[in-house]
């Protein structure tokens, strides 16, 4: 393939299933759940028809709040096949975040699992939507969420007000093949198919709208740069709700007929066992995941000889870690990716054959069919090689825009179609890009993007807090942790533990400040702007052992 393809997710899956019907598509080792591409395609048709039978229309949002359970990937394609928009929900979300997402996105349909780790999703959902307990299924009417129509349980059990997976599949009988074909004929590769909420520096998260065209093509090139073939078996350990899972993973695999060996959660022992047992040729992860595998006491008990490639992304890779991954895990063709949700997400990637220096000190070169440049943040003039500036990209991969937020869309994508990343980088004479810092105040904790403004807005609602600033604290384990610099109101009697307690159960655990200190004032510029970089410097001094 030398040009970009205009094809929907549904047609792509059908094409792959026709080419490689007996190749395994989805494997869950721990429960012996296996589907060939032909079987997987059939399952997605059944679920798609079931959704249609329940009245899901083209353009409706279908939110999925679940870890990597077996039906997650099926929903990714089933929704696409009827023109619905898959809305991925972060598994760490708590009630405050879920309420915002459902309201802002105007979601009509919600799928959820029972619980994730210590969080009971069912209780949270019933607390937010008490009408579920006594209203007829599919006829939901709630003042708090006026657009929400249906709630589904992503499993076989029955729960009040929710459809189960078997009930959804049974509804497929309500839709004829002709009706299904008619719906599919209405779809366009440039329709929005996926929506992901990414936190913003202006406060609350924004809904990034991605099209079939965006993620089909990005997935193809991500796989091509790893030299994926139908003989490859990808161990997918990263969350599907992230682009890392649903695009770098799923879309790369389906484009190339690759088998997806999916783990519900990242557990080092289960990753090692899956690679060994399934003879995986690729594995994905952020650097901390690879470190957890390499340092596991049972690491040497497993066979990694089948491994060849994969992706390390999310945060910079230490040279020594990369050397160990290549030597100890046999991943001599591992690649590095860089991008953001708004760029579908990968704009640059190393390729098989790049040097160790390029694999550890850079994030590769621009993807095929994509333009990447570094510009002066003030003048927007392109920087010469070796000069630091803001990283921008242009091409098929740029999002359609933020949902119901034209102002933020215009701020992110300039009049010439360049998406501004907010990241600082430098490009060498050969086009290799190195990320050097951030224009925006984002914190990256173990691959999770955290925007201080979102946490600050939440903490402003706490009694006794006059002002609060959140900044990154350098961390050996996670790269960065959250630190909160709080100014108390008058004689307010609040301590660090009170701040942390206030956050528990209301915002995602990874966003809760691990470090809290109280200050009388913030470092400011002459024009009155808070100097976040000085807070980061203070954090490094205050908590040197983080």
pLDDT tens digits for 89-98? 999 999 999 9
Give the burial class of 131: count Cβ atoms within 10 A of its Cβ; 0-12 exposed, 13-18 middle, 19 or more buried: middle
Residue 473 domain-assigned (yes or no) = yes
Instruction: Give the whole-angstrom CA distance, residue 468 versus residue 325.
Output: 41
pLDDT at 365: 98
Least confident window among 38-42, 82-86, 94-98:
94-98
- With cut-offs at 50, 70 and 90, classify the pLDDT of residue 307: very high
Cα–Cα distance for residue pair 285/381, rounded to 1 Å? 35
Q: Which residue's structure tokens are 């709208």?
A: 209
Q: What was the pLDDT predicted at 449?
A: 79
Q: For residue 532, what pLDDT is reported?
A: 77
The answer to whether residue 528 scores a pLDDT higher than 70 is: no
Q: Do the bridges between strand 370-375 and strand 346-349 make them parallel or antiparallel, or are there none, so unpaired? A: unpaired
The residue out of 178, 206, 234 marking a domain boundary is 206
Give me the percent of the chain exceeding a pLDDT of 70.
Answer: 97
- How long is the chain? 546
User: 243 is written with which tokens?
Assistant: 């682009």
pTM (2 decimals)? Answer: 0.86
Residue 2 has pLDDT above 70, yes or no: no
User: What are the pLDDT digits (tens) for 411-446?
Assistant: 999 999 999 998 889 999 999 999 887 776 778 888
Does residue 62 carry a pLDDT above 70? Answer: yes
Q: 272 to each of 70, 293, 298, 346, 540, how far by Cα in Å? A: 20, 7, 9, 27, 35
Residue 427 parent element (H or E)? strand 419-427
Q: Residues near 143 by Cβ (< 8 Å), separated by ≥ 6? A: none
Average pLDDT over residues 175-179: 98
Indicate whether 461 belongs to any domain: yes
pLDDT greater at residue 437 or residue 522: 522
CATH of the domain at 492: 3.30.300.30
The answer to whether residue 238 sits within a structural domain is no
Please indicate, yes or no, if residue 234 is contained in any of the structural domains: no
Among 165, 191, 206, the domain-final residue is 206
30-39, 181-190, 236-245, 529-538: segment of lowest average pLDDT: 529-538
- Spatial CA neighbour of 70 closest among 121, 28, 122: 28
Residue-wise pLDDT for 246-297, tens only, equals 999 999 999 999 999 999 999 999 999 999 999 999 999 988 899 899 999 9
> Which neighbouring-strand residues pair with 349?
337, 365
User: What's the alpha-carbon Rg for the chain, to the nearest Å?
Assistant: 23
First to last CA, the chain: 47
pLDDT in tens, 183-224: 999 999 999 999 999 864 445 789 999 999 999 999 999 999
Which residues, in sequence order, are bridge partners of residue 112?
Answer: 65, 153
Spell out the alpha helix ranges (H) of 160-235. Answer: 165-170, 177-185, 212-224
* Among 195, 197, 194, residue whose Cα is nearest residue 101: 197
CA distance to 300, 310, 312, 484, per residue, from 333 (Å): 21, 7, 11, 40
Measured from the Cβ of residue 33, the count of other Cβ atoms closer than 10 Å reads 12
- Using the predicted structure, report yes or no on whether residue 525 has a pLDDT greater than 80: no
Q: Per-residue pLDDT averaged across 36-64, rounded? A: 98
Tell me whether residue 467 is in a domain. yes
pLDDT value at position 125?
98
Number of domains in the chain: 2
Q: How far, CA to CA in Å, does 308 sit from each of 231, 272, 463? A: 12, 14, 54
The mean predicted confidence, pLDDT, of the chain is 93
Dist CA 451 CA 474 (whole Å): 15
User: Does residue 527 surpass a pLDDT of 60?
Assistant: no
Among the three residues 171, 206, 241, which one is the final residue of a domain in this structure?
206
Do 441 and 372 meet the contact criterion of CB atoms below 8 Å apart? no
Asked if pLDDT for residue 526 goes beyond 80, the answer is no
**Is pLDDT of 61 > 80?**
yes
- Tell me the β-bridge partners of 109: 62, 150
In angstroms, the CA 12 to CA 402 distance is 25
Max CA-CA distance within the chain?
71
Say how far residue 95 (Cα) sits from the centre of its chain: 19
| Side-chain half-sphere exposure of 234, counting CA atoms within 13 A | 33
Q: Which residue has the higher pLDDT, 379 or 129?
A: 129
Q: Is residue 339 part of a domain?
A: no
Residue 393: partners with Cβ closer than 8 Å, 6 or more residues away: 339, 343, 347, 366, 370, 371, 372, 373, 418, 419, 421
Question: Could you read off the pLDDT of 331-388 as tens digits, one per residue?
Answer: 999 999 999 999 999 999 999 999 999 998 899 999 999 999 999 988 899 999 999 8
138 lies in which domain range? 38-206
**DSSP letter (8 states) at residue 225:** T
pLDDT of residue 410: 96
Cα 224 to Cα 3: distance, rounded to the nearest angstrom: 13
Q: What is the pLDDT of residue 446?
A: 86
Q: Which residue has the tokens 């384990």?
A: 477
The answer to whether residue 481 sits within a structural domain is yes
Q: What CATH number has the domain bearing residue 44?
A: 3.40.50.980
């Amino acid at each position: 393939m030398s040009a970009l393809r205009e094809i929907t997710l549904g047609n792509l899956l059908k094409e792959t299933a026709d080419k490689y019907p007996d190749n395994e598509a989805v494997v869950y080792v721990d429960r012996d759940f296996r589907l060939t591409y032909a079987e997987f395609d059939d399952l997605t048709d059944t679920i798609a028809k079931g959704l249609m039978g329940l009245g899901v229309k083209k353009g409706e949002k279908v939110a999925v709040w679940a870890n990597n359970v077996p039906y997650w990937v099926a929903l990714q394609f089933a929704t696409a096949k009827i023109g619905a928009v898959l809305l991925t929900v972060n598994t760490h979300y708590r009630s405050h975040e879920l309420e915002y997402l459902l309201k802002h996105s105007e979601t009509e349909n919600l799928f959820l699992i029972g619980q994730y780790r210590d969080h009971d999703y069912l209780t949270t959902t019933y607390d937010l939507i008490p009408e579920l307990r006594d209203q007829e299924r599919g006829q939901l009417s709630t003042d708090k969420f006026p657009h929400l129509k249906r709630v589904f349980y992503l499993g076989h059990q029955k729960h009040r007000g929710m459809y189960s997976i078997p009930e959804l599949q049974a509804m497929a009988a309500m839709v004829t093949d002709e009706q299904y074909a008619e719906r599919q004929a209405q779809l366009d590769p440039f329709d929005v198919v996926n929506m992901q909420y990414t936190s913003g520096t202006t406060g609350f998260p924004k809904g990034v709208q991605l099209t079939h065209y965006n993620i089909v093509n990005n997935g193809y090139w991500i796989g091509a740069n790893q030299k994926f073939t139908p003989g490859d078996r990808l161990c997918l350990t990263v969350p599907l709700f992230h682009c890392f899972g649903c695009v770098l993973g799923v879309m790369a695999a389906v484009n190339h007929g690759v088998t997806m060996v999916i783990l519900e959660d990242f557990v080092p022992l289960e990753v090692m066992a899956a690679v060994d047992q399934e003879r995986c040729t690729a594995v994905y992860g952020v650097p901390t995941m690879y470190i957890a595998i390499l340092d596991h006491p049972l690491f040497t008990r497993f066979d990694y000889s089948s491994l060849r490639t994969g992706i390390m992304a999310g945060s910079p890779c230490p040279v020594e870690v990369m050397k160990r991954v290549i030597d100890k895990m046999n991943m001599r063709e591992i690649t590095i990716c860089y991008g953001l949700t708004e760029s579908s997400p990968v704009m640059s990637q190393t390729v098989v054959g790049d040097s160790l220096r390029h694999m550890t000190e850079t994030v590769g070169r621009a993807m095929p069919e994509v333009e990447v440049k570094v510009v002066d943040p003030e003048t927007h003039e392109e920087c010469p090689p070796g000069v630091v500036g803001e990283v921008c990209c242009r091409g098929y991969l740029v999002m359609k825009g933020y949902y119901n937020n034209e102002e933020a869309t215009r701020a992110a994508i300039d009049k010439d179609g360049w998406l501004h990343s907010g990241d600082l980088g430098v490009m060498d004479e050969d086009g290799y890009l190195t990320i050097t810092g951030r224009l925006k105040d984002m914190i990256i904790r173990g691959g999770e993007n955290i925007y201080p403004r979102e946490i600050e807005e939440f903490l402003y609602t706490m009694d006794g807090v006059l002002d609060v600033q959140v900044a990154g604290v350098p961390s050996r384990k996670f790269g960065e942790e959250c630190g909160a610099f709080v100014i108390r109101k008058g004689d307010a009697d609040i301590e660090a533990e009170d701040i942390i307690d206030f956050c528990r159960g209301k915002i995602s655990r990874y966003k809760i400040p691990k470090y809290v200190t109280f200050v009388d004032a913030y470092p400011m510029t002459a024009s009155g702007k808070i100097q976040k970089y000085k807070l980061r410097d203070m954090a490094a001094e205050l908590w040197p052992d983080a």
